[in-house]
Amino acid sequence: MVAAANPGKSSSASSGNRHSQWFLLGFYLLAIASGIREIRYRQESALDLLVPFSMALWLSLWALADSKQRGRPILWSLRCWFFLLAVIVVPCYVIWTRGWRGLGLVAANTIAWTILSVVTTVIGGRLVFGADWAPN
């Protein structure tokens, strides 16, 4: 039915958009988790390991799904690097596969992630500690 309503879009294109939408949801939820973690940055927390691990896993799984959806799966011998160096390799993959548009996507999402994390920290800190709280 979707293909009939939108003849220009195939079901695989719709599927590709869906996997990117889920990725963005998880990506920005990790920004919120990172912001929450920073409210009490001096105390040790499981989030110190969980957020970076989750980010690496989430980025690498998205890149693998995206490459498969594009019909150019990433070689098995390279997949470990997409996890181990996710914050470097995945943005490079996006830029490589999308050109200048990819550079814009990486920049826009990096800025939005940072802003969301900082806003979460500031609002959360004020809610937890009151108006006297200020991030250092």
Spatial distance between the Cα atoms of 2 and 9, rounded to a whole number of angstroms: 8
The whole model's pTM is what?
0.79
Which pLDDT value is given to residue 15?
58
Tokens describing residue 121: 């920290």
Which pLDDT value is given to residue 105?
93
Tokens describing residue 105: 């996507």
Residue with tokens 């958009």: 17
Spatial distance between the Cα atoms of 130 and 42, rounded to a whole number of angstroms: 18
Which pLDDT value is given to residue 135?
66
In the chain, what is the straight-line distance between the N-terminal and C-terminal CA atoms, in Å? 54
Report the half-sphere exposure of 25 (CA within 13 A, side-chain side).
6
pLDDT along the chain (136 residues), means of 10: 40 63 91 91 86 93 90 88 93 93 94 96 90 72
Which pLDDT value is given to residue 93?
94
Spatial distance between the Cα atoms of 127 and 53, rounded to a whole number of angstroms: 27
- For the chain, domain boundaries: 47-98, 99-136
Which pLDDT value is given to residue 133?
73
Which pLDDT value is given to residue 16?
58
